[in-house]
Chain A
Amino acid sequence: MKSYSLFQKDWQSELRTRYAINALAMFILVTLSVIMFSIGDEKTSAHLSGGLLWVVIFFSAMSGLSRAFVSEEERGTTLTLQLIAKPATIFNGKLIFNLLLVFLMNIVITFLYSILFDSFVIKNYELFFLAFVLGNVGIAVSSTIIAAIISKASSKGTLYPVLSFPILLPLILTLLEITKFSMDGKLLSKSYVELAVLFCYDVIMLTASYMLFDFIWKD
């Protein structure tokens, strides 16, 4: 409940300041436009368009998801948070906020992508949906803990994608594979290994984040 109250505070703050939403919306528009212009009239293979979807998602996540902690640090309100809640509450609240942002962002991206790119055709929706949900959770958890780590650094903008890349790489590669499977119409039962990898990634990142956050949070 305390975490939900923190999420409510962050969401109301976000609606007023538009720190993350504007950054994400602009990035999605710009990235999709760039891809459209660079492809032009050329036919792209289905697998390439599936791959590009996750490139758009990765870079959009890099542009907006660090705000959860960076905005607190930049405004100087980190101490206020430290005074009103224990670290686990803060991490949970920020994670709920980032989960909502990631799901909203990725639903918009996938919807626009499926309209704009003819070659992006999903044949096994069930498999894609499972990968989408597990992938979004993985992106949200990883980006929340990385945001907490980099929020105290001086060059946050550079550090965030640099630190995120090796951490998100296994997740993105697995998601690329499953997206390819779902575009080929491969059965769900034949993709259990990849889905298990995604699930394990989420569990490991979540556990590591809770263990690490107490140390990051204290000066």
Chain B
Amino acid sequence: MMINNYKIKLENVTKTFGRRLIFRNINFEFHSGKVYGLAGRNGSGKSTLAKIIIGVAATTSGKIVHTLNEKIIIEEKLHEQIGFVSPYLVLYDEFSAYENLVHTLKIRGKLIDEEKINYWLNEFNLFDRRNDLLKGYSSGMKQRMKFIFALVHEPEFLLFDEPTSNLDNTGKEKVYQIIDEQLKNKCVIIASNEDNDLALCRETLKIEEFKN
């Protein structure tokens, strides 16, 4: 199996909201084959940095460069390489889990691979409930559904913001197991302040160090 080399380079990344500084001059590199942590207390700017890294929020100054096998990924195509999970990510409540996955895959321009969809639904224990509308799901089930949404299109880069929020112990174990076993060749970032989540990370970027 060919291993892709995904790299994210943060160059002097600064973010302010009005006169409030969130972080200043972050220089860091993330590579494939390693799990990274984004740590910081509540309100420190973890989610803001996560949004900036995935390209849905702008920096105040500085830039972020994503490369795949040394080729720069243009902003328009960035979403193809990203898998993202966060508490503020909301899927479509009026659709079932299966419909959500089919619609999002079609919009991405991907072929519908039933086997792959069923595999991930089974992995996260949602196969039996795949045809139920998401509005009937518990918060833990919705969180597991977000992981399937993030993984089903096989992205090279995964960013998990508070990945284990709303999950029970079995759900947490499953997430840790998948990160450890199935995503070891990918570039993975975990933004969290949970010790158990950060224990998976080989290198951690502490936001508090970029506040001055």
Spell out A's residues near B (CB within 8 Å): 1-2, 5-6, 8-9, 12-13, 16-17, 75-77, 79-80, 82-89, 93, 218-219
Kindly list chain B residues whose C-beta atoms are within 8 Å of the C-beta of A12: 95, 99, 103
Which one, A6, A8, A75, A89, contacts B90 given CB within 8 A? Answer: A75
Chain A nearest CB, measured from B106 CB (Å): 4
Cβ-defined contact, B79 with A218, below 8 A:
no
The answer to whether B103 touches A5, judged by C-beta atoms less than 8 angstroms apart, is yes
Q: Is the CB of B94 within 8 A of A85?
A: no
Residue of B nearest to A16 (CB): B94
* Segment 77-101 of B: residues with Cβ below 8 Å from A: 77, 79, 82, 84, 86, 88-95, 99
Min C-beta distance of B191 to chain A, whole Å: 15
Tell me which of B57, B91, B104, B108 contacts A218 (CB under 8 A): B57
- Taking a contact as CB atoms under 8 Å apart, the answer to whether A1 and B109 are in contact is yes
Task: Report A-chain residues with C-beta under 8 Å of the C-beta of B94.
Answer: 13, 16-17
Q: A80-B91, A84-B108, A218-B58 are in contact. List 7 more A-B contacts (CB 8 A).
A: A2-B107, A6-B107, A9-B92, A12-B95, A13-B92, A75-B90, A86-B76
B binding-site residues for A, Cβ under 8 Å: 51, 54-58, 76-77, 79, 82, 84, 86, 88-95, 99, 103-104, 106-109, 149
Answer whether A82 and B56 are a contact pair too, CB < 8 Å, given A13-B95, A76-B90, A77-B91: yes
Residues of B within 8 A of A218 (CB): 55-58
Residue of B nearest to A219 (CB): B57
Nearest-CB residue, chain B, relative to A19: B94
Residues of B within 8 A of A17 (CB): 94
A80 x B109 contact (CB < 8 A): no
Write 12 A-B pairs (CB below 8 A) sorted by A numbering: A8-B103, A9-B92, A9-B103, A9-B106, A13-B94, A77-B92, A79-B89, A80-B92, A85-B107, A86-B76, A88-B76, A219-B51
**Residues on the A chain within 8 Å of B91, using CB:** 77, 80
Instruction: Give chain A nearest CB distance to B97 CB in angstroms.
Output: 14
| A5 and B92 contact, CB distance less than 8 A | no
Task: Please determine whether A83 and B90 come into contact, CB atoms closer than 8 angstroms.
Answer: no
Q: Which B residue sits closest to A215, measured CB to CB?
A: B58
Does A219 lie within 8 Å of B56, measured CB to CB? yes
Q: How far is the CA of A16 from the CA of B95 in the complex (A)?
A: 9
Chain A residues positioned under 8 Å from B86 (CB to CB): 79
Q: How far is the CA of A82 from the CA of B89 in the complex (A)?
A: 11
Q: Give Cα A75 to B135, complex, Å.
A: 12
Give the docked Cα–Cα distance between A89 and B57 (Å).
18
Chain B residues whose CB sits within 8 angstroms of the CB of A84 once the complex forms = 79, 104, 107-108
Q: Contact at A86–B90, with CB atoms within 8 Å? A: no
Docked CA distance A76–B108 (Å)? 19
| Residue from B88, B93, B106 in contact with A5 in the complex, judged by beta carbons closer than 8 Å | B106
Cβ 8 A contact of B56, one of A5, A9, A79, A89: A79
Q: What residues of A have a CB within 8 angstroms of the CB of B79 in the complex?
A: 82-86
What is the chain A residue whose CB lies nearest that of B56? A82
Q: How far is the CB of B81 from chain A (nearest CB, A)?
A: 11
Residues in B with CB closer than 8 Å to A5 are 103, 106-107, 109
Which among A9, A79, A87, A219 is the interface contact of B107 at CB below 8 angstroms? A9
Specify the chain A residue showing the minimal Cβ separation from B94.
Answer: A16
